[in-house]
Amino acid sequence: MILSFLAVVICYLLGSVSFSVLLAKGLKGIDIRHHGSGNAGATNTLRVLGKGPAILVLFLDILKGVAAVWIGRWMNGDSQWLPALCGIASIVGHNWPVYFRFRGGKGIAATIGVMASLAFLPALYAGIIAVLSIGITRYVSLGSLLFVLFTPIFLLVAGDNWPYFWTSLIICLFAFWRHRTNIVKIVQGRENKLGSKGGV
């Protein structure tokens, strides 16, 4: 029990490392949360710092999610719930980082890492839908929401791993809450598209 609690705390602290904030500070001496969309994530990094830093942030944020799941598996290899809880903790850390006054990103890259590690095929199928959506609409926020929406749907259809289904559903609720302003903008036709100066 103590080890499980420790694993969740470690994964929250790992998730709280905001690579977008650190990279912007290191490269330009700025707080990225005061620029572009104000979001500490890969999409806003693309708009503020360019492609190279954005790709690096995306990779590192995904890696946070992967690492969290494997920390949970290492701490308790027989449990499906602990890797799932560790994954959720890393996303919570990304969204509300203790190191940066609880102002973080929206957790999609970390979610990709978590769900790809927990349930690769459902996450892959949802990812394909998300990428196609972004390619067609150029709305990163819409693609992100479709990813978190379809992952639990595909897990429900498979019906063989309930801990991961409930995990993906919780993560989906997190993502929709964090994207609530984007949802309003999409409905009103005011959402910025990929490549614009505004952002997600």
Neighbours of 154 (CB within 10 A): 18
What's the pLDDT tens digit per position in 48-74? 999 999 999 999 999 999 999 999 999
Q: Is there a contact between 41 and 92 (Cβ–Cβ < 8 Å)?
A: no
Instruction: Name the percent of the chain lying above pLDDT 70.
Output: 96
- 7 lies in some domain: yes
For residue 76, the model assigns a pLDDT of: 78
For residue 78, the model assigns a pLDDT of: 76
For residue 43, give the 3-state DSSP assignment.
helix
- 12 lies in some domain: yes
| CA separation for the pair 171, 52 (Å, rounded) | 28
Lowest mean pLDDT segment, chosen from 22-31, 97-106, 186-195:
186-195
Q: How many domains are there within the chain?
A: 1
For residue 148, the model assigns a pLDDT of: 97
For residue 199, the model assigns a pLDDT of: 47
* Angstrom distances, CA of residue 31 to CA of 5, 37, 40, 153, 179: 32, 12, 9, 37, 21
- 196 lies in some domain: no
- 113 lies in some domain: yes
Residues 6+ apart with CB under 8 A from 124: 116
| CA separation for the pair 191, 200 (Å, rounded) | 8
Check the CA dihedral 36-37-40-42 and report its sign: negative
What's the pLDDT tens digit per position in 163-187? 999 999 999 999 999 999 999 999 9
Structure tokens at 47: 């708009």
| Boundaries of domain holding 176 | 2-188
For residue 177, the model assigns a pLDDT of: 95
For residue 197, the model assigns a pLDDT of: 55
